[in-house]
Copies of this chain bind each other. A is one copy, B any other.
């Protein structure tokens, strides 16, 4: 049984403070703008900049930020990483796995789950996710500020991500973990699913039959009517056997 909403012994889940995104030594202001956009996509707003190469503020960040200009306007600028994370209780640094540094490494999803668990206990804590310069990533001095390294574990043959993509993937994991779960889709098994070409063959014959039968009395509405029919049959997702049956129906109905 769920607790009554206003039962004081069952307070609602606390609203947690999302982590700040700390960009260290970013080379191009356009990338800062694109990171701001990725952050806002995912409900993150606390952007902290450590010694961007061309200083701050930088008008080159504004156009790439598009609708996330508010994140840029509120961004804080620091001379050093230590100042940027001085108020932070937990710090995660994005990096490839490192065997030379004894810092635990985990995937982005696991990192979000761990951080979220911490914030359930201490929802007002400031926490930080660090991202290094575009070309080189974070240096050892920066990495040793981190409680954990976050490794994206992408295709080992090609794992290169640009800065805004790295921010987006972390943000996506944060957003996916903290938002309400999506409704459960109806999952069906289709033992003998039909290839799309077979469906198209049926549907083309179907609409041709309708045309021949003068089904579409209003030519202007034909496109939307066809779309609606196609959406229906696609959603119904006929199996091969069902398509054969539908073809038989068409044959029967159009026979004179």
Contacts and interface: CB of A to CB of B under 8 A. Distances in A.
Contacts of A182: 106-107, 109-110, 151, 153
B144 A230 contact: yes
Nearest to A70: B158
B187 A122 contact: no
A43 interface: yes
A154 B44 CA distance: 11
A171 to B, nearest CB: 9
A8 to B, nearest CB: 23
Contact of A103 (B158, B189, B234): B234
Interface in A98-114: 99, 101-107, 109-111, 114
A204 to B, nearest CB: 9
A interface, size bucket:
35 or more
Contact of A186 (B104, B141, B168, B189): B104
Interface of A: 37-38, 40-43, 66-68, 82, 85-91, 99, 101-107, 109-111, 114, 117-118, 121-122, 125-126, 140-141, 143-148, 151, 153-155, 157-161, 164-165, 168-169, 172, 175-176, 179, 182-191, 193-197, 200, 223-224, 227-228, 230-232, 234-235, 237, 239, 242
A165 B99 CA distance: 30
A172 B175 contact: no
Contacts of A194: 89
B88 A147 contact: no
B193 A158 contact: no
Name A's interface SS.
mixed
A76 to B, nearest CB: 15
A72 B107 CA distance: 29
A195 B40 contact: no
Contacts of A106: 182-183, 185
B193 A104 contact: no
A160 B66 contact: yes
9 contacts: A40-B157, A40-B158, A41-B159, A85-B196, A103-B235, A106-B185, A121-B191, A147-B234, A153-B179
